[in-house]
Every structure is written in C-alpha cells, then in structure tokens.
Amino acid sequence: MGWKRNTFRKWLCSFIVIFFNYDISSSQIDESIAKHKQNFENVALTIWDHAELGYLESKSSDLLKTTLQNNGFSVTNNVANIPTAFIAEYGNNGPVIAILGEFDALPGLAQNAVPYKDNTDLSSSNGHACGHHLFGAASAWAAVAVKEWLEESGVKGIVRFYGTPAEEGGSGKVYIAREGFFNDVDIVLHWHPSSANSANARTSNSNKSGKFTFRGISAHAAGSPEKGRSALDGVEAMNMMVNMMREHIPQESRIHYVITKGGLAPNVVPDLAQVYYYVRHPKMHMVDELFERVVKIAEGAALGTGTTMDYEVMHGNYSLLPNETLQKILHANLKKEGGIQYTDAENEFAKQIYQTLIAPSTELGSQEFVEDYQVTHSYGSTDVGDVSWLVPTGEIRVATWVPSTPSHSWQAVASGGMSIGLKGTELAAKVLAKTARDIFLDPAIIKDASKELTQRQGKDFVYYPLLGDREPPLDYRLISN
C-alpha cells in the first residue's frame, strides 16, 4: 500500500501546485491586461486610422513590431519573403504557443465611427470592416500578458506572436505555413471580431481564387466593329456560363466574381478585360475540381469570342479543422469572463446601428452573453485554415460589433472604431492569455490536442497548398485598385 500512498501524495502535490498557480496566475494576467490597456487600445485605434490593404500594411506592421519589441520580444522580419509579415517571440525552452494577429483592411469602405452610412465616394477609401485592427492589437496584448506571466511564474514556455498580413484574399498565413514557420509550434490560438461571443468548434469553406484576363482587338465600336474582338465579350460569356454551371455543383459551394477591368469607352471595342473569381466548398479537393471547371469555361469563352485568355491563381485557403480539446478550454475561459456590457452612450450608438440592419437575427443585449458550445460551419473562408491542418488550433469570436452586424459592412467599421470594439478587444486578450496559461500549466493538453489533430487529418493526409508554388502576390491590392 506504500506505493499507493506515495502516488496519491504526488498527485495531491501536483494538484495543489496547479491550483495555486492557476489562482495566482489569473490575477497576474488580469493585472497585466489592465496595465497595458491604454497602450493597446491606442494601438488598435492607430491601426484603424491607417486602414492599410493586404501586403501594404507597413505602418500597422511596424507599430505592432515596435510595441512587442518594447515589451521584451525578439522580432524576425520579412517572414516568408513578405515585408509586412513578422514573428515576435519570448522564451527559450518549453512548449511553443503561437498567437495569430491580423491587421489588413478592405477597400471601398468609409472609415468613420458614426452610426450612419457615409455616402461619399468610396472608390479610393479603405475601412476596417472585418476588425483586423482589433484582431492584431488584442493578440499582441495577450502575448505580452503571457510573456509577463511566464516571467513571474517561472513556468517554462515560449510565446510567439505571428504578424500575418493580407488575410483578405492574400492568404498571408499560407505562405508562412508553406515555408515551415509553424513546424515547431505546439499550439496555435487566435480570435476574430464578431457580433456575438462564442468558442464553437467551427469549420469553414476552403477557397481558391483567380484573375482571368481576356485580350482581344480594339476597333471603333460603330464604324468598324467587324475588325474588333471584344475582351469584355469574353468576360461576359465566361460569367454567363459559370452562372449556368451553378445548377450542377454541390449545394454547399459558393462562387462569386467581380469585373475588375471592363473597358474605358463604349465606342471602343475593349482589347483588355478581367474578372476576379472566388470558388468555395468545405472540401479542398472539391474546390480544386470546381476551379478547374471554371478554367475550362474561361477557355471556352475565349474560343467562342475570338479572344485569348490567361489566368493567375491569386490565393487558396484550406477549411478550418476544429480541435475540440482546445475549443472546450477556450469556451470555459470565455464563459468565466462573460460578455460585453454597454454604457448608456454605447447603447444609444448600438440602437442607431441596429436600426440600419436587415432582418437582424439576434437582439440588442445578446452581446452580454456567451453562446452555448456547439459545432458550427461558416460559409466564409480564412487562411487560418491551412494552419489548423498543421498545428492544433483554437479560436474564439468576440462581440466587437453590435449584435447581428455582418462583417465587411460599414456598421462593422463604425463599431470597431469606438469603445464597443475596444471592449471586445480586451475580452479577447484576456481569454487568449488565460488559455495559453492553462496549456502551459498542463502539458497533457498539448498531447491530447495533437492526438485529435492526427485523427482529424486522416492517415493519408499530405499537405499541399491550394495556391501552389506561386510567390506571395504583394501587389494584388494595387492591381485591383
């Protein structure tokens, strides 16, 4: 019986140490979050002011790098040959926990923190309609809090912040993953702004995009039309055939496009036209199949209109691979912290925003609560998907927007530029930091999460990027605009 008593004593001692560390560390992290509150709120609003597009986020990237360096992190620049991508790290041994941060904006949106739509010309305006200014700031804030906790507790571990540009159509994380920068990471944590608080085991659509450029022959559209071959006809023929194809694809699919070049004058037969396509489906192999069908249609459109066509794959993302081992810990921490409480002034702002929403599915006040844990699917896509197939990855979504606000909207820009967005930023930083702490205190979590990842990948899984071996499209936003 002696060995049983010894085993019990060891278990009890371990439990006491973990419990004591957990209790003390929770207050340590809260103190760290509070200490840096003003600084990181300023970081978020400064990035909001910059509103830089994908791969062009030099000011936003530099601000985050400088902030982390000032807080004791070492920084690696130009990750994966992307000027605005970087890795900031603290620690020299132990498990590696990565926290992802984004900071790119979207084109064609007014950058105003007001509860009404700005109808001025938006052709050259950018806006943070997906909240990535908050995303980057909160993740860096959490990384600093974890770093200070590691210092104070003496627990062994490495915390890394990954500055990942161009999530919006640029697949920045895919290039970072393709070059092996996640190979030694044990756990990845991230979050995203939202109109509700949740830590669901979420899947998403995989996604592949391409720009299809048609070239024809210019001529006077009235005087000598027979001498011309319209590149715009090629684009329109392609679009018509893709729209007919929709009837014959899996119902989970999503295909959408914009004409980025269509000619300059009606009386000139356009000799250059371009259309930009996104193809989505939950399964990566199906995205590849659908994209190849779109390519065949483009080839047929060129043949039928007497034009030529070439295309460029712009980006490709895997679906999100959920990890319930991590999601349940994130959910527990999110529930402990609770939701978002509005002041009277914030409630008034929220009411005005809410009145502009079409068919809202949730009520004002729902931001005060955390959704029950469940498995869900999003029809959108993210370059976090590729990371989640390589490293156990966990995510939370936090109410930085008024309930029922859609992402990529002026309403999201508005809430993200004032105190409603900042409250969600602080909540996200706390939950990420405390989840990282839990994992550092209990290495068995890493083992369980890794086992789950292997099971979900399947025995024949081999990673190949949907975007192939192309270089990062550092000018993709310049080309579009």
Per residue in 247-270, pLDDT tens?
Answer: 999 999 999 999 999 999 999 999
Quote the pLDDT of residue 16.
44
| Whether 123 and 55 share a structural domain | yes
Q: Per the domain annotation, does 432 fall within a domain?
A: yes
pLDDT surpasses 80 at 20: no
Q: What is the pLDDT of residue 438?
A: 98
CA distance 110 to 112: 6
221 pLDDT higher than 80: yes
171 & 268 share domain: no
- Going from the C-alpha of 380 to that of each of 12, 254, 268, 317, 368, the distances in angstroms are 46, 9, 38, 11, 25
How many domains would you assign to the chain? Answer: 2
CATH number at residue 253: 3.30.70.360
- Mean pLDDT, to the nearest integer, of 279-303? 97
**In a shared domain, residues 229 and 292:** yes
pLDDT score of 26: 79
27-60 pLDDT, tens digit per residue, is 899 999 999 999 999 999 999 999 999 999 999 9
Residue 86 in domain: yes
Q: For residue 289, what are the domain limits? A: 206-316
Same domain, 350 and 299: no
Work out whether strand 126-127 and strand 308-317 pair parallel, antiparallel, or are unpaired.
unpaired
Please provide the distance, in angstroms rounded to a whole number, between the alpha carbons at the two ends of the chain.
Answer: 76
Q: What pLDDT shows up at residue 24?
A: 62
Q: Check pLDDT > 70 for residue 318.
A: yes
Integer CA distances (angstroms), 247 to 204, 242, 250, 283, 300, in order:
22, 10, 9, 19, 19
Q: Are residues 167 and 61 in the same domain?
A: yes
Identify the CATH number of the domain in which residue 195 sits. Answer: 3.40.630.10
199 shares its domain with 212: no
Q: Do 184 and 258 lie in a common domain?
A: no
Which bin fits 409, alpha (ψ -120 to 50), beta or left (φ > 0)?
beta
Asked if residue 23 belongs to a domain, the reply is no
Whether 350 is covered by a domain: the verdict is: yes
For residue 346, the tally of other CB atoms under 10 A from its CB is 18
State the pLDDT confidence band at 122, using cuts at 50, 70 and 90: confident
Position 95 in a domain: yes
Residues 105 and 133 in one domain: yes
Same structural domain, 166 and 180: yes
Of the three residues 288, 316, 344, the one that is the final residue of a domain is 316
- Average pLDDT along the chain: 94
- Tell me the pTM: 0.91
Residue 224, both tokens: 């000598």
pLDDT above 50 for 99: yes
Please report whether residue 16 resides in a domain. Answer: no
pLDDT exceeds cutoff 60 at 98: yes
Reduce the secondary structure of the chain to three states and give it as a string: CHHHHHHHHHHHHHHHHHHHHHHHHHHHHHHHHHHCHHHHHHHHHHHHHHCCCCCCCHHHHHHHHHHHHHCCCEEECCHHHCCCCEEEEECCCCCEEEEEECCCCEECCCCCCCCCCCCCCCCCCEECCCCHHHHHHHHHHHHHHHHHHHHHHCCCCEEEEEECCCCCCCCHHHHHHHCCCCCCCCEEEEEEEECCEECCEEEECEEEEEEEEEECECCECCCCHHHCECHHHHHHHHHHHHHHHHHHCCCCCEEEEEEEECCCCCCECCCEEEEEEEEEECCHHHHHHHHHHHHHHHHHHHHHHCCEEEEEEEEEECCCCCCHHHHHHHHHHHHHHCCCCCCHHHHHHHHHHHCCCCCCCCCCCHHHCECCCCEEEECCCCCHHHHHCCCCEEEEEEECCCCCCCCCCHHHHHHHCCHHHHHHHHHHHHHHHHHHHHHHHCCHHHHHHHHHHHHHHCCCCCCCCCCCCCCCCCCHHHHHC
Q: Are residues 198 and 210 in the same domain?
A: no
Q: What percent of the chain is modeled with pLDDT above 70?
A: 94
Q: What is the pLDDT of residue 120?
A: 77
Domain membership of residue 3 (yes or no) is no
* pLDDT at site 309: 98
Give the end of a domain, one of 316, 335, 353.
316
299 and 250 both lie in a single domain: yes
CB 44 within 8 Å of CB 425: yes
Chosen domain end from 293, 316, 339: 316
Q: Could you tell me if 72 and 58 lie in one domain? A: yes
Q: Looking at residue 272, what is its pLDDT?
A: 98
- Give the model's pLDDT for residue 25: 66
pLDDT of residue 9: 43
Contact yes or no for 408/121 (Cβ under 8 A):
no
Q: How much is the average pLDDT of 181-196?
A: 98
Question: Which segment of 13-22, 222-231, 324-333, 378-387 scores lowest on mean pLDDT?
Answer: 13-22
Asked if pLDDT for residue 381 goes beyond 70, the answer is yes
Inside any domain, residue 213? yes
Percent of the chain at pLDDT > 90 equals 90
